[in-house]
Structure 1
């Protein structure tokens, strides 16, 4: 094995494709590491140290994001009757993926995953090889028009019918201007009766939010904005909020798996808005 191959090994020793840079941290792999996954490199584990130092329970924050996402999918498909989903910044596959939850409720659901991380795309394509109504496309979250003009997305998603856009744990990795512009572009793409789900880091005037934001921005990853309630509410401008509105993530229609009295309760918020 060459030195280059050794440098490109994941934690399980798997040699990855050459377009994947093992010396540059990845948001998806850092997230995978903090929630206890296996698809990450030494650089991802290194930059995660600052996160754990700021908030030792950061793994619970990551898992809260995941369980909130899955509750949202269950509501969208099971109660709102949505059978088309576009999942932006989908991240590495893990237990209970969006398409698995959706297809369990309605086997006719169509799901398009969108990501720009090479390792995410490689894993997703392998996982989805046998699914006719689930696909993954490579795109940048900042290019909303390009995403919704992609032929592969249009093969599965009828933009004239109601659909759901999931922007979970993605807008907080954009600076203020790009984040608001991206949210506005997403709202503009929604057909009547469509939904936008967004879950993000929250600055509820708690010192730990500011400490964790510094860890994200200065600890090697370089992204991770904690925004106020008012700033997060702007993502849903012009949409009708689904009850209970924009709330702490664990307060959004909790189920038996939702943690009670979580130590990271006030660091993460979510909501779903419907286009009239």
Structure 2
């Protein structure tokens, strides 16, 4: 009689939940940043979108550089040692925990996503330094209380936390609801915590056309917003200079400063 293998059973369950018949946002984004964790439908849509607005490839690539600069700033200049990253996506290079733990090995990171493919890769690839911790929770952005409760197993929510929500809030169709979700998450974090958000913006006809094409593809729709709407997520917080800006113009280092249809900011909870 064979003994059940819990890991094999979990992997089979994840495979059963993966739908490769239509594009998927995490796999689509993975294709744009040069990853290998995508399928034919994702690549077909990616190539179609490139024909409409090639600049979206730059958004994907350069938003990752913004993440790195924001995390390095928080870890090295603000002393943040705890990061809550919601909408993790498929692991690539320079994930939040890698950047944070290079700067401060004792950093603790919790990733949040509810996609089965992301879950499978996160469990395999998101490792930690011995001094710090890296964990992954299967939770939904629409349930902030559950996220905070699960994150508290790894993070000390009485101490400052950096809440990272990059290229994720566009999945929330209603802007008011998106703001409420961000506000509820920040309300569960103490003074001295930080909010980091970046997202694609409706700042060119090409980006708007690309968004329309993506939303007609069968993938879960993604809604690009105005720069003013991105800024609204930070109401009540203290923006770190230079405030809400194109992701390539936020504290640029020796990296690509190509103008892009993506804006972001970092702000402190007073």
TM-score normalised to the size of structure 2?
0.89
Count the aligned residue pairs: 254
- Conserved? CA contact 2:199–2:262, under 8 Å: yes
Q: Kindly report which structure 2 residues correspond to 1:225-264, keeping only aligned pairs within 5 A, or say none.
A: 225-257=223-255, 259-260=256-257, 262=258
Structure 1 range deviating more: 166-175 or 120-129: 120-129
Which secondary structure state, in structure 1, belongs to the residue aligned with residue 233 of structure 2? Answer: helix
The secondary structure found in structure 2 opposite 1:236 is coil
Which deviates more, 24-33 or 161-170?
24-33
Match of 2:264 among 266, 270, 276: 270
> What stretches of structure 1 of length at least 5 have no aligned partner?
1-15
Q: Indicate conservation of the 8 Å contact 1:33/1:45, yes or no.
A: yes
Q: 1:182-234 deviations in whole A, cap 9, x for unaligned?
A: 22222222210000000011223x32232122122223324222211221111
- SS of the equivalent of 1:245 reads coil
Q: What's 1:7 paired with?
A: none
Q: Determine the structure 2 residue equivalent to 1:31.
A: 29
Tell me which of 83, 87, 108 is aligned to 2:85: 87
- SS state at 2:152 partner: helix
Residues 50 and 216 of structure 1 are in contact (CA less than 8 Å); yes or no, is this contact kept in structure 2?
Answer: no
CA contact (8 A) 2:25 2:220 kept: no
Asked whether the equivalents of residues 208 and 224 of structure 2 are also in contact (C-alpha less than 8 Å), the reply is yes
Matched with 2:180 is 181
Match status 1:203 vs 2:223: no
TM norm structure 1: 0.87
Unaligned 5+ segments in structure 2 are: 1-13
Once superposed, what is the RMSD of the aligned Cα atoms? 1.6
- Cα distance between partner residues in 2 of 1:21 and 1:130: 30
Quote how far apart the aligned CAs of 1:237 are.
1.1
Residue 94 (structure 2) pairs with residue 100 (structure 1): no
